[in-house]
Amino acid sequence: MKAETSTFFLFNLFMALALAILYNTVTNMAGIYISSDLGGSTQISVYPMVFFGLGNVLTLPLTQLLADRIGAIKLLVYGLLFYTLFSFLCSLAPTFVIFNIFRFGLGLSSGVFFVLCRRILLVFSTPEKAEKLSFLMALSYAVLPVIGASFGAWLAYESFWRWIFHVNTLISLPLAAYFWIFFRHTDEKIPHPFTDKIGYFFFTLGIGSIVTALTVAQELDWLRSPTFVILMLIGLPSFFFFILWELKHPNPLINLKLLKNPILAFSLLNLAVLFSSYFGMIILITLWLNIYVNYTPLWIALLIGIMAIAGVVAYFVKKFFLNNFDARHTLAFAILCFALSCYYSTYFNIETDFFHLAVARFLSGLGLVLFLFPLLQLSLLSHPSEKSHEIFGLFQLTRALFSSLGAGLYVILWQRRQEFFHERLGEGLNVYSQLTSNYFQRAVERFNLTAGQATGQLDVFLNQQSTSLALNDVFGCMGYILLGLLALLLLSFTMKKINSPVEH
């Protein structure tokens, strides 16, 4: 059967993409068990996701160039082989630092999948079929992160976290063999020199330093840390030089001149804010429920799985929206769903039941898929079709960077607000407080606790309340950011209609 009509070929292509998306978030809940087992704390359990995303970001700009020089299929096979290697190394990591280094390598090897799968799809399918499947791929960015987080939590909780990285080798190796044996001869090479080595060097230096600095800043105490200061002094000038270099270079690594188009620039701004919010929601709610509300990973997996269900529902209704309305109407509705989810979440506390948690997660899942399709559509329609590969690369670069970095920054904000509320609530718990005296009296007389046990339980209660209030603040902040984005979008309605409805 020809590849063009082979469902098995398309399935394997989607599986390669799924590996990269699933293993981006596989450590979201499992990270708590991984960091504890390898000598870290729950406060830094977000690091594996951030460094995986950083690896994706550093590989994405090179994908088209490498595919031209060695062939798209061969590059996919090499990526799958390195992916297998780093997965195996992750499963053997003796310390949390080394584990994060291997996670970074896993991100480097899988970063090529995001652009390659679309490129191969366009080669082996008709334009109409490729367009429909491209939008189905977009759905995977909404559904698979949730499945990945749930899968990782299930294995870590029921078995052992190292099995997470053994399982995917059973998929990646057969995929590499399949594409190598049957399709390596289909590659068409377009050799051309890599003329922007300086640009890539400063891109790597700038993005790598900034992301690393912001990720570890909370643990290093920000500007009080020489490491943080040095990283920022290296990263910011390097990134600024990279921007200037790319704008002047005749064959830039990343064509920043495309951002002169206001539609594309606005689409990527929305993508950055919404993906960082979405991944921030996932990791905050999972950490809070697992650590402070005593939800098991299986119940959390069921809860965030509702986001995936909402994503599937949104996929089937998006055709109606895109065919009958300006894409900005669909985007506005999606942002509103996100904002409502954040507003609803500002009332959460440790006594919030499963139903109310599920409603907020359903709204965010609905919003994610409904914003992905119009943003992808607006981005691709902002320039002629011959620029679609460059635009899709920018789209993926923005998604990868802000989904990981944004989540990390929201976790840092949550931790800082925890400390703030812990201090404020704890100020009133002293020997002169009648509430404190009543608590100790009841703890000793009615529950037969010792003074030490009562003090420990009081600290547990204090942590639970301070983390709940901090979570409310972060969701409130997120909601205000989304409302600002919505207001900016509404201003764009003074412009003429951007695109005509299209069939998908």
Q: What is the CATH number of the domain that holds 61?
A: 1.20.1250.20
Query: How many Å apart are CA 14 and CA 143, to the nearest integer?
Result: 13
156 and 293 in a single domain? The answer is: no
Query: How many Å apart are CA 63 and CA 401, to the nearest integer?
Result: 16
CA angle 7, 8, 13 (to 5 degrees): 95
What percent of the residues of the chain are helix, what percent strand, and what percent coil, each to the nearest 5?
A: 85, 0, 15
32 and 170 in a single domain? The answer is: yes
Q: What is the DSSP letter of 125?
A: S
Determine the pLDDT at residue 319: 65
Task: Please give the radius of gyration of the chain, using alpha carbons only, rounded to the nearest integer.
Answer: 24
- Tell how far CA 417 is from the center of its chain: 22
Determine the pLDDT at residue 464: 86
Ranking 60-69, 306-315, 382-391 by mean pLDDT, the lowest is: 306-315
Quick check: is 207 in a domain? no
What amino acid occupies position 385?
Answer: S
Comparing 214 with 374, which gets the higher pLDDT? 214
Per-residue pLDDT, averaged over 106-135, amounts to 82
Determine the pLDDT at residue 201: 94
Burial of residue 400 (CB within 10 Å: 0-12, 13-18, 19+) is buried
Quick check: is 388 in a domain? yes
410 and 280 in a single domain? The answer is: yes
Query: How many Å apart are CA 318 and CA 321, to the nearest integer?
Result: 5
The 10s digit of each residue's pLDDT in 161-213 is: 899 998 888 899 999 999 999 888 887 777 777 778 899 999 999 999 999 99
Per-residue pLDDT, averaged over 388-405, amounts to 87
- Tell how far CA 317 is from the center of its chain: 24
**Per-residue confidence band for 5, with pLDDT thresholds at 50, 70 and 90:** low
178 and 315 in a single domain? The answer is: no
Average pLDDT, the chain: 85
Quick check: is 492 in a domain? yes
The structure tokens listed for 188 are 């068409």
Per-residue pLDDT, averaged over 79-99, amounts to 93
Quick check: is 200 in a domain? no
178 and 279 in a single domain? The answer is: no
Please count the other Cβ atoms lying within 10 Å of the Cβ belonging to residue 236.
14
Ranking 112-126, 179-193, 251-265, 314-328 by mean pLDDT, the lowest is: 314-328
149 and 289 in a single domain? The answer is: no
What amino acid occupies position 329?
Answer: H
Ranking 138-147, 243-252, 358-367, 402-411 by mean pLDDT, the lowest is: 138-147
Query: How many Å apart are CA 211 and CA 183, to the nearest integer?
Result: 37
**Per-residue confidence band for 433, with pLDDT thresholds at 50, 70 and 90:** confident
341 and 488 in a single domain? The answer is: yes
| pTM of structure | 0.88
Q: Is the pLDDT score of 152 beyond 50?
A: yes
Q: Which of 139, 167, 195 is the endpoint of a domain?
A: 195
Query: How many Å apart are CA 108 and CA 230, to the nearest integer?
Result: 24
Quick check: is 244 in a domain? no
Instruction: Give the number of domains in the chain.
Output: 2
188 and 321 in a single domain? The answer is: no
Q: Would you call 349 helix, strand, or coil by DSSP?
A: coil
Maximum C-alpha span of the chain = 82
Q: Which of 157, 177, 195 is the endpoint of a domain?
A: 195
Q: Which of 150, 168, 195 is the endpoint of a domain?
A: 195
Per-residue pLDDT, averaged over 367-387, amounts to 81
189 and 303 in a single domain? The answer is: no
Query: How many Å apart are CA 407 and CA 467, to the nearest integer?
Result: 17
Task: Tell me if 73 sits within 8 A of 179, measured CB to CB.
Answer: yes
Per-residue pLDDT, averaged over 239-253, amounts to 91
Per-residue pLDDT, averaged over 145-165, amounts to 86
**Per-residue confidence band for 1, with pLDDT thresholds at 50, 70 and 90:** very low
What amino acid occupies position 418?
Answer: Q
Quick check: is 295 in a domain? yes
Per-residue pLDDT, averaged over 141-164, amounts to 84
Closest residue by Cα to residue 372 from 334, 317, 325: 334
Q: Is the pLDDT score of 85 beyond 50?
A: yes
**Per-residue confidence band for 73, with pLDDT thresholds at 50, 70 and 90:** very high
Ranking 150-154, 410-414, 452-456 by mean pLDDT, the lowest is: 452-456
Determine the pLDDT at residue 453: 79
Residues of the domain holding 46: 1-195
Q: What is the DSSP letter of 347?
A: T
Per-residue pLDDT, averaged over 53-81, amounts to 91
176 and 290 in a single domain? The answer is: no
Quick check: is 436 in a domain? yes
496 and 405 in a single domain? The answer is: yes
Determine the pLDDT at residue 504: 35
Determine the pLDDT at residue 469: 92
Determine the pLDDT at residue 320: 67
The 10s digit of each residue's pLDDT in 278-302 is: 888 888 888 888 888 888 888 888 8
**Per-residue confidence band for 502, with pLDDT thresholds at 50, 70 and 90:** very low
The DSSP annotation for 395-438 comes to: HHHHHHHHHHHHHHHHHHHHHHHHHHHHHHHHHT-STT-HHHHH
What CATH number corresponds to the domain at position 296?
1.20.1250
Closest residue by Cα to residue 28 from 418, 481, 411: 411
Closest residue by Cα to residue 66 from 246, 205, 194: 194
Quick check: is 307 in a domain? yes
Per-residue pLDDT, averaged over 429-437, amounts to 73
For the chain, the straight-line distance linking the first and the last C-alpha, in angstroms and rounded, comes to: 26
